[in-house]
């Protein structure tokens, strides 16, 4: 997430005029200011469809404090071996939003809040949304009027340069909107991504852990990773593993399996991809059954060049909420 400070608060009226936005035209924003705060940031951004660039109106936008979420009832972060299931259902309660609005007809949104570190949430943020992911973006407000920008590709192809940017893959051609800095939402692929989401969610339900929310940055990252690996010319940077571009240390990357199946009567992802997250992946297993691992993206079956020729690839990521946990591999959430 990149932030550009245009003018300090003293120039707010001038900026509003320059943007052709009058005080009366700025939509009402629901907010609760922090006690004792004297400075306010007036932040704005724009949301478009990825890849078309079409303006997206009426989408929920929230600003949550960057403070840890709370697992109810409380459970410790699982250690090895993780439990097969929690003894009672767990839910993740995160800090309530201090500002809430919706995107306008021109795709723009406006939020007012005291300076500070926040999680910008754009989308339904619902475990039942199988149409679009939700944006979870790290933003720091510093006062005055600020134009909020979404992450774009990192300036370096080598990890772990992920601060305020997404991993760069040299052989992948990204849609223009992912290079523009505008906030964007893709559409979940119903054939290659939705089965992974429902299969992963089913496994969570069996362990008394609530489902997952599909995340936009993870989804874009998954697609770029698989697109790069599928290119016959792809070779990772020297000394870097093939799947170096992950946004989380909690991931499953594989090839093969027996096809897209139905798992216990529900649509499932390729068996190796979802099942390994809960049974076979020693590094990823403690994440997959942790209530704090609330964001997800997965895909399997569309591409097939890396490693085993002719076998399709799969990739899932399921990090813990970065407000609760500092990933040992990816220290900064974009």
* SS3 (DSSP) at 137: strand
CATH number of 165-317: 3.40.33
Dihedral sign, CA of 9, 13, 18, 20?
Answer: positive
Q: Give the Cα separation of 91 and 93 in Å (integer).
A: 6
Q: What is the pLDDT of residues 104-161, one digit of tens each?
A: 999 999 999 999 999 999 999 999 999 999 999 999 999 999 999 999 998 876 655 5
Q: What rounded mean pLDDT belongs to the chain?
A: 81
Residue with tokens 């760069």: 168
What residue ranges of the chain are covered by domains with CATH 3.40.33? 165-317
What residue ranges of the chain are covered by domains with CATH 2.60.40.10? 2-153
Q: What is the pLDDT of residues 277-291, one digit of tens each?
A: 888 888 888 899 899
Q: What is the pLDDT of residues 75-90, one digit of tens each?
A: 887 777 777 888 888 8
Right CATH number for 2-153 from 2.60.40.10, 3.60.20.40, 3.10.20.30, 2.60.40.1120?
Answer: 2.60.40.10
* SS3 (DSSP) at 261: strand
Structure pTM? 0.84
């Amino acid at each position: 997430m990149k932030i550009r400070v245009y003018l300090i608060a003293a120039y707010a009226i001038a900026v509003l005029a320059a943007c052709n936005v009058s005080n009366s035209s700025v939509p009402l924003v629901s907010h609760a200011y922090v006690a004792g705060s004297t400075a306010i940031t007036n932040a704005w951004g724009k949301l478009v469809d990825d890849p078309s660039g079409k303006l997206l109106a009426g989408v929920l936008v929230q600003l949550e404090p960057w403070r840890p979420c709370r697992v109810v009832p409380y459970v410790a972060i699982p250690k090895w071996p993780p439990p097969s299931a929690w003894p009672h259902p767990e839910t993740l309660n995160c800090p309530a939003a201090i500002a809430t609005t919706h995107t306008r007809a021109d795709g723009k949104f406006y939020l007012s809040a005291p300076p500070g570190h926040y999680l910008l949430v754009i989308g339904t943020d619902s475990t039942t949304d199988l149409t679009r992911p939700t944006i979870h973006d790290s933003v720091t407000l510093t006062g005055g009027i600020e134009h909020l920008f979404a992450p774009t590709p990192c300036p370096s192809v080598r990890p772990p340069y992920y601060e305020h940017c997404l991993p760069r893959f040299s052989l992948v051609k990204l849609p223009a909107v992912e290079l523009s800095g505008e906030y964007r939402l893709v559409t979940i692929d119903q054939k290659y991504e939705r089965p992974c989401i429902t299969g992963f969610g089913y496994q969570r339900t069996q362990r008394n852990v609530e489902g997952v929310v599909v995340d936009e940055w993870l989804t874009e990252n998954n697609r770029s990773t698989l697109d790069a690996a599928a290119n016959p010319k792809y070779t990772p940077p020297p000394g870097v593993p093939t799947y170096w571009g992950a946004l989380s240390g909690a991931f499953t990357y594989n090839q093969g399996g027996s096809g897209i199946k139905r798992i216990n009567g529900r649509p499932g992802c390729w068996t190796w991809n979802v099942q390994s997250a809960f049974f076979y992946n020693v590094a990823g297993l403690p994440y997959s059954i942790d209530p704090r691992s609330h964001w997800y993206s997965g895909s399997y079956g569309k591409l097939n060049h890396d490693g085993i020729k002719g076998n399709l690839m799969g990739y899932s990521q399921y990090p813990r909420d970065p407000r609760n946990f500092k990933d040992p591999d990816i220290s900064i959430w974009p």
